[in-house]
Structure 1
Amino acid sequence: MPALTAEALDQLFISARTHNGFAAEPIPEATLRRLYDLMKWGPTSMNCQPARLVFVTTPEGKAKLAPALSPGNLDKTLAAPATVIIATDSLFHEHLPTMFPSYDARPMFAGNAELAAGTAFRNGTLQGAYLIIAARALGLDCGPMSGFDAGKVNAAFFPDGRWQANFLCNVGIGDPARLHPRGPRLSFEEACRIA
Structure 2
Amino acid sequence: MSQPLSDEAINQLFLDARTHNLWQDKAVSDELLTQAWDMTRWAPTSMNCCPARIHFVKSAEAKEKLKSCLSEGNIEKTMAAPATAIIAVDTKFYVNMPRLFPSFPGAADMFEQSPELSEETAQRNTILQGAYFIMACRTLGLDCGPMSGFDNEKLDETFFNDSSFKSNFLCNIGYGDKAGLYDRGPRPAFDEVCAIL
Q: Which bin holds the TM-score, normalised by the shorter protein?
A: over 0.9
Give the whole-Å Cα distance in 1 for the aligned partners of 2:185 and 2:139: 22
The aligned counterpart of 1:119 is 121
The aligned counterpart of 1:66 is 67
What is the deviation of 1:161? Answer: 4.4
Give the whole-Å Cα distance in 2 for the aligned partners of 1:79 and 1:121: 28
How many residue pairs were aligned?
195
Give the whole-Å Cα distance in 1 for the aligned partners of 2:68 and 2:116: 30
Give the whole-Å Cα distance in 1 for the aligned partners of 2:5 and 2:26: 29
The aligned counterpart of 2:34 is 33
Structure 1, unmatched stretches of 5+, are none
What is the deviation of 1:193? Answer: 1.4
Structure 2, unmatched stretches of 5+, are none
1:114 counterpart letter in structure 2: E
The aligned counterpart of 1:81 is 82
- RMSD of the TM alignment (CA)? 0.7
Give the whole-Å Cα distance in 2 for the aligned partners of 1:10 and 1:182: 15
2:132 counterpart letter in structure 1: Y
Give the whole-Å Cα distance in 2 for the aligned partners of 1:144 and 1:38: 18
1:24 counterpart letter in structure 2: D
Give the whole-Å Cα distance in 1 for the aligned partners of 2:23 and 2:104: 45
Give the whole-Å Cα distance in 1 for the aligned partners of 2:98 and 2:163: 23
Identify which of 132, 135, 141 aligns with 2:134: 132
Q: Quote the sequence identity (%).
A: 51
TM (norm. structure 1) is 0.98
The aligned counterpart of 1:9 is 10
Give the whole-Å Cα distance in 2 for the aligned partners of 1:160 and 1:116: 19
- 2:87 is paired with a residue whose SS is strand
- 2:185 is paired with a residue whose SS is coil
Give the whole-Å Cα distance in 2 for the aligned partners of 1:169 and 1:21: 13
- 1:27 is paired with a residue whose SS is coil
What is the deviation of 1:133? Answer: 0.2
Matched, 1:55 2:56: yes
Deviations 1:128-157 (A, max 9, x none): 000100000000000000111111110100
Give the whole-Å Cα distance in 2 for the aligned partners of 1:86 and 1:135: 14
- 1:20 is paired with a residue whose SS is coil
**Segment of structure 1 superposing worse, 52-61 or 25-34:** 25-34
Give the whole-Å Cα distance in 2 for the aligned partners of 1:176 and 1:102: 48
- 1:76 is paired with a residue whose SS is helix
Give the whole-Å Cα distance in 2 for the aligned partners of 1:122 and 1:152: 22
What is the deviation of 1:68? Answer: 1.0
The aligned counterpart of 1:170 is 172
